[in-house]
Structure 1
């Protein structure tokens, strides 16, 4: 009961109404599942220290967007993110950023989920359009250099003999168009990316890069570890175990 009560209180901080709906929906088929959701997900995992509720919800929105197969749960956590202080502008940026990692379909579906939540909550939102100034590649190289000062050269060396245009696309779009956008702190961008790549489970080298990048922009090891552990709830233990092993390798050389 202690775990259950602790989890229920934490869930109420995020979205008690959604929690009640989940419990009721499972009561006639698998009541133990609702108990596990509250005890484990919120009593054990969400109650851990090291990241704020805002950082947790940004990580979850990123992870669920990247996975692309859990729209009802994504809407619950978009709603929860708004409840714990994540702005609509920040949510737009988190979901837009996923276009670089899980593709445009996942980002489009995520934005549509956000739009539905805003309509359900009667929240008026004026979309922000950012005009990029200057050369996109140079702008992207500048931002990528803040994460790793040699990464542009690494990309050029890796792809120059087979797909040199890929370097242009990665730097100009991923960092010139997306990463340089305002309304989301670089540390939160790295939390979102680490969460998404952990959930996807198919990009260990890129996850390692963004763990290093997170350290370079000021994330602590604790924040990175807690972000990965949180993904147990959404992507399962194998994804989180692989993520932690990747972090362990990075930390040993950083």
Structure 2
């Protein structure tokens, strides 16, 4: 195994709290275990370790994007619980789901109800975290350019950084798809150019 896979496997085990991540079994079930290992190595062993977003921040943007997609409930459950496993509070995760659901029209009430059973602190989203989640939701929608631009400007105005935005967009490419991430990069480039 490669260093990236070993590091990715350790991280996904931490996120999910399981020795054998289900994602590896999914790839194996279609006869592509090697592809699954490469995905775990690249996404969880490399992308997740890039500077610019902390692990809890990465989980919050992932939760926001998966909520906005509206069709990834299994992955949303995994990442909502993973957010709690890496230090996010239940309130932060619930607020991320609510924020993204309001933007996308895809509420995830069943996941919010399931989170009620997890004991966690009471700290909610900071203004920067809330805007970052809103950006993630807009990226997931893929066609919300004007709303994305508004949230990017708002994020920068309250102390968010270009690096934070770039890492959010790169991170989300693996959750919402490359075309949606490329569209968002074009909007971000315009916002950055206007500063």
TM-score (norm 1): 0.70
State the match for 1:20 in structure 2. Answer: 21
Cα pair 1:23 1:34 within 8 Å, conserved: yes
Q: How far apart are the structure 2 equivalents of 1:116 and 1:33?
A: 32
Cα pair 2:13 2:21 within 8 Å, conserved: no
Q: How far apart are the structure 1 equivalents of 2:149 and 2:165?
A: 11
SS of the residue corresponding to residue 29 of structure 2 reads: coil
State the match for 1:158 in structure 2. Answer: none
Q: 1:232 to 1:19 in 2, by over 3 A?
A: farther
The aligned length equals 193
Cα pair 1:92 1:111 within 8 Å, conserved: no
Shift of 1:221: 0.5
Q: Residues 171-186 of structure 1: matches in 2 within 5 Å?
A: 183-186=124-127
Q: How far apart are the structure 1 equivalents of 2:79 and 2:22?
A: 14
Cα pair 2:12 2:21 within 8 Å, conserved: no
Cα pair 1:11 1:19 within 8 Å, conserved: no
Q: Residues 91-170 of structure 1: matches in 2 within 5 Å?
A: 91-103=93-105, 106-107=106-107, 110-119=108-117, 123=118
2:155 to 181, 204, 214: 214
State the match for 2:135 in structure 1. Answer: 194
Q: How far apart are the structure 2 equivalents of 1:61 and 1:190?
A: 13
Q: What 5-or-longer segments of structure 1 have no aligned partner?
A: 129-181
Q: How far apart are the structure 2 equivalents of 1:97 and 1:117?
A: 16
Shift of 1:252: 0.8
Cα pair 2:62 2:136 within 8 Å, conserved: yes
Shift of 1:90: 1.1
Q: Does 1:245 align with 2:191?
A: no
Q: Aligned-residue CA RMSD in angstroms?
A: 2.1
> Could you say which structure has the larger radius of gyration?
1
Q: How far apart are the structure 2 equivalents of 1:183 and 1:51?
A: 18
State the match for 2:174 in structure 1. Answer: 233
Q: 1:88 to 1:247 in 2, by over 3 A?
A: same
Shift of 1:242: 1.3
Cα pair 2:64 2:136 within 8 Å, conserved: yes
Shift of 1:205: 1.2
Q: How far apart are the structure 2 equivalents of 1:210 and 1:192?
A: 10
Cα pair 2:95 2:125 within 8 Å, conserved: yes
Q: How far apart are the structure 2 equivalents of 1:118 and 1:59?
A: 20
TM-score (norm 2): 0.90
Shift of 1:7: 1.5
Q: After alignment, is 188-197 or 10-19 more displaced?
A: 10-19
Cα pair 1:93 1:183 within 8 Å, conserved: yes
Shift of 1:116: 2.6
SS of the residue corresponding to residue 45 of structure 2 reads: helix
